Amino acid sequence: MGLTISRTFGGKELDELKAVLNPGNLQEVAAEIHRELGLLKNTTLDIAVTGELGSGKSSLVNALRGVTDSEEGAAETGVTQTTMETKGYPHPRFPKITIWDLPGIGAPKFEPEEYLKKINFSRFDFFIIVAAERFTANHTKLAREIHEMKKTFYFVRCKVDLSMNSERGKPNFSEEKTLERIKKYCYDNLSEILASSPRVFLISTWYLDKYDFSLLQEALENEMEYLKKHALILVLPAIELVLDIVPLESSLVGGGLSFVATFYLLKKFLRDIEEDAENVLTKAAEP
């Protein structure tokens, strides 16, 4: 499942467009769709990073933004609870995307029973659930809620380096097999909630060049590509509607515009839409 955005040229918008559409007002219709494309161009995407207290959420937010924990403007980190309120940080490459550092579920002011309501979970488009060690009832609660909202999430198991250190002294230690065992443990727990295969990443914010951090970044960028393509898909129903309601043949008989005039108006209309749609795609990735 890819990311979704809220703007779509369908339903009510298409009904309104159909009500006013005729061969004589294509320019007016084009202007309306240009307006819709402008809204798409300015659509924002909100990614929420959530999990239990002390799981490494804030360090992950900083890593995704390419900043260290000590840099100015970085999300605050520490051994005690540092994230007391929801705070957004712009993505360095995709300025329309905000990464939100959420307070830890289970913290004194964010008990599981009230967490989802206090955080207003439904306002976010995409989620990263962070865990430090064991899969808990809180992770199940978060995953189930996101799944029921029909939204996408990744499950990130942080502090893998600490797990490796604790296992390294055991007889017949194998880093590869230990990583496989940790990932399978996460898969098995998530598979009880999800019908599809869960996306699980094992990372250490101290060693970003190891484990799955590069895969996590690649997966997120692929989701961004989906978003940009989706922006173009959203305007296709409007274009199809124009072609359905204003067939070229109708201008050959009875009133209205001549065939040539209709043809060139439609051609200009579709060219303008194509240019605007392409603009949406490029603007979405501009710094």
pLDDT in tens, 154-198: 999 999 999 899 888 888 889 999 999 999 999 999 988 886 778
Nearest to 97 by CA among 237, 3, 210, 1: 3
CA distance 266 to 23: 9
**pLDDT of the chain along its 287 residues, tens only?**
444 444 444 455 545 555 555 555 555 655 665 665 565 556 677 889 998 888 888 889 988 888 887 877 777 776 545 556 888 998 777 777 889 999 888 777 777 777 877 888 888 888 999 998 888 888 988 998 888 888 889 999 999 999 899 888 888 889 999 999 999 999 999 988 886 778 999 999 899 888 999 999 888 877 766 665 655 555 555 555 554 544 444 443 444 444 444 444 445 555 555 555 555 445 444 44
Question: pTM for this one?
Answer: 0.68
Q: Is 258 helix (H, G, I), strand (E, B) or coil?
A: coil
Q: Is 137 helix (H, G, I), strand (E, B) or coil?
A: helix
CA distance 246 to 26: 9
CA distance 274 to 267: 11
pLDDT at 177: 92
CA distance 13 to 251: 26
CA distance 93 to 212: 20
Q: Hunting for tokens 């999430």 — which residue is that?
A: 153
Given a contact cutoff of 8 angstroms between Cβ atoms, the answer to whether 228 and 281 are in contact is yes
Given a contact cutoff of 8 angstroms between Cβ atoms, the answer to whether 130 and 83 are in contact is no
Nearest to 204 by CA among 243, 237, 158, 155: 158
CA distance 157 to 140: 14
Helix ranges, 202-258 (H): 213-245
Burial group, residue 192, by CB count within 10 angstroms (0-12, 13-18, 19+): exposed
Nearest to 212 by CA among 168, 257, 279, 159: 159
Element of type H or E holding 87? strand 87-90
Beta-strand (E) ranges in 93-236? 97-101, 126-131, 152-157, 199-202
Given a contact cutoff of 8 angstroms between Cβ atoms, the answer to whether 4 and 41 are in contact is no
Any residues with CB less than 8 A from the CB of 186 and at least 6 apart, and which?
131, 135, 155, 157, 198, 200
Structure tokens at 32: 């309306």
